[in-house]
Amino acid sequence: MPGSSRTPTATCWPAAWPSAEYGPVRRLRWTPTWSGLRSRCARTITVPNTISVPYPGSPTRRRHSDRRTRHDADHRRDPAEGTAVTAGPDTATVLITGAARGIGAATARRLAASGWSVVLFDRDEEVAEAATSIESTGGRALACRGDVTAESDWAAAIEHTHSTFGPIDALVCNALVTDHAPLHEMALASWQRQLDVNLTGAFHGIRACLPDLRRDRRGAIVIVSSVHAGFGLPGVPGYAATKAGLTGLTRQVATEYGGEVRVNCVLPGPILTAQWDGIPEQDRAASAAETVIGRLGDPDEVAGPIEFLLGASASFVTGATLTVDGGWSITKNSS
C-alpha cells in the first residue's frame, strides 16, 4: 500500500487561504420540504454580488451563515415530519478520509468546486498538496494528516475543522488498505490491519463526527465500499470481508440515526487509481472488458454519485447501496 510504512502524525494545518473572492454571483437553491412542495414554494434565487465568502469566522462570514441558518430553519427543516434534509454546499463542511489521492481526492475536488468546505484527512503527507491544489482553484480546503485508526487523530482533525470551518455536515469514509494473499497465507497482523483501517476506521470516524452530524437533523454519511462486498475474488479475503462489513454498517447506522443522519454506501467497480499500480496492462484490459461500458472508471465518476448522495437531491435516500461499476456486476449477478 502506498505510504503504509509511514508513521502517521496527528498534525493538522490549514493550507493558505486564497485572497480572491469566490465569483461574482452566487446561486442558492431553495430545496423544497414536503410542506414546501405542498405550498409550491420551491424556487431558485440569484443573490447579487454582495455575498463574498472570506476566511471562515470573519464577521461577513458569520452574517452569511446566520442568514442561511434562518433560511434552513424556515424552509428546509421540517422536524415535525422527522425528515433529515442534507445540508447543501455554500456553507456546508464535509470531511473525507483517504483524500490524498484517488477517489477521495477526486471527491474533495468535486465537492469543493460545488461550494463545500472540504477537510481532507489522510495519513499520507501528499494530503497537503491535494488541499493546496483545491485552494489554488478558489475552493475552501483543510488538510488534516492523521490515521483513521487513531481516536486522538480524529479528535485533532475535528478540533481543527471546528476552528477553521465550524461543525461538520457530512462525512465520507473512504480510506483503505489491502493486502493480497489467499487466506491460508495471510498473516494475522495483515488481516487485523485491514479490519482496523477499512472497518474500524469508519467506526471511529462516524463516532467522532456524529455529534456534529446529528446537531440539526440533516447530516449525511457516504461509506465507500466495493463491488467485492458481494462477489468473491481470489486473494483478497481481508478486503472483501471489510467491504461487506461496511455495507452492513451502512444499513445499521442508517437505522439507528434515520431521522437525523442519512447514511448511504457506494460500491465502486474497477476505477483507475494507485490501487492499479503494478497491475499489468493485459489484466487491466481484462477488467475493463468485464464492464459493460468497456473501460475502467475514472475517480471523478465515483465522486459524482458521492456528491449526489450527500446532497439535498438525495434527501429521501438512506441505507442504500449505489453500485458504480460500469456494469461490472450485472454480468455476474443473475438475480
Which stretch in 21-29, 256-264, 268-276, 327-335 sits in contact with ligand NAD by CB under 6 A?
A: 268-276
Residue 134 class from Cβ within 10 Å (0-12 exposed, 13-18 middle, 19+ buried)?
A: buried
CB nearer to ligand NAD: give 87 or 324. Answer: 324
The reply to whether 279 sits near ligand NAD by the rule CB under 6 A is no
Q: Could you say which residues in the range 171-210 bind ligand NAD, by CB under 6 A?
A: 174-177, 197, 201
Residues identified as active-site: 239
CB nearer to ligand NAD: give 68 or 123. Answer: 123
The reply to whether 307 sits near ligand NAD by the rule CB under 6 A is no
* C-alpha cell belonging to residue 84: 433529515
Member of 194, 226, 250, 291 binding ligand NAD (CB under 6 A): 226
Which stretch in 44-52, 54-62, 250-258, 267-275 sits in contact with ligand NAD by CB under 6 A?
A: 267-275
Member of 12, 84, 92, 103 binding ligand NAD (CB under 6 A): 103
The reply to whether 115 sits near ligand NAD by the rule CB under 6 A is no
Member of 268, 305, 311, 326 binding ligand NAD (CB under 6 A): 268
CA–CA distance, 62 with 74 (Å, rounded to integer) = 18
CB nearer to ligand NAD: give 2 or 18. Answer: 2
Q: Where are the beta strands (DSSP E) in 146-297?
A: 170-173, 219-224, 261-268
CA–CA distance, 94 with 51 (Å, rounded to integer) = 21
What is the radius of gyration, based on Cα positions, of the chain?
A: 20
What does 219-245 look like in DSSP terms, one character per residue?
EEEEEE--GGGTS--TT-HHHHHHHHH
The reply to whether 326 sits near ligand NAD by the rule CB under 6 A is no
The residue among 272, 243, 244 whose CA lies nearest residue 106 is 272
CB nearer to ligand NAD: give 87 or 271. Answer: 271
How far are the Cα atoms of 124, 167, 215, 217, 308 from residue 220, in angstroms, in the given order? Answer: 25, 13, 12, 9, 11
CA–CA distance, 236 with 322 (Å, rounded to integer) = 22
The reply to whether 270 sits near ligand NAD by the rule CB under 6 A is yes
**Minimal CB distance residue for ligand NAD:** 102
The reply to whether 222 sits near ligand NAD by the rule CB under 6 A is no
CB nearer to ligand NAD: give 53 or 96. Answer: 96
Total residues belonging to the chain: 335
In the complex, the smallest distance separating the C-beta of residue 177 from ligand NAD, rounded to whole angstroms, is: 5
What SS3 state is found at 80?
helix
Q: Where are the beta strands (DSSP E) in the chain?
A: 12-13, 26-30, 43-47, 93-97, 117-122, 140-145, 170-173, 219-224, 261-268, 321-324
Which stretch in 26-34, 48-56, 84-92, 147-155 sits in contact with ligand NAD by CB under 6 A?
A: 147-155
Query: Could you tell me how far CA 259 lies from the centroid of its own chain?
Result: 20
* C-alpha cell belonging to residue 111: 465537492
Is there a contact between 245 and 234 (Cβ–Cβ < 8 Å)?
no
CB nearer to ligand NAD: give 103 or 206. Answer: 103
CB nearer to ligand NAD: give 53 or 134. Answer: 134
The reply to whether 149 sits near ligand NAD by the rule CB under 6 A is yes
The reply to whether 238 sits near ligand NAD by the rule CB under 6 A is no
Residue ranges in contact with ligand NAD by CB under 6 A: 2-3, 97-98, 100-104, 122-124, 147-149, 174-177, 197, 201, 224, 226, 268, 270-271, 273-275
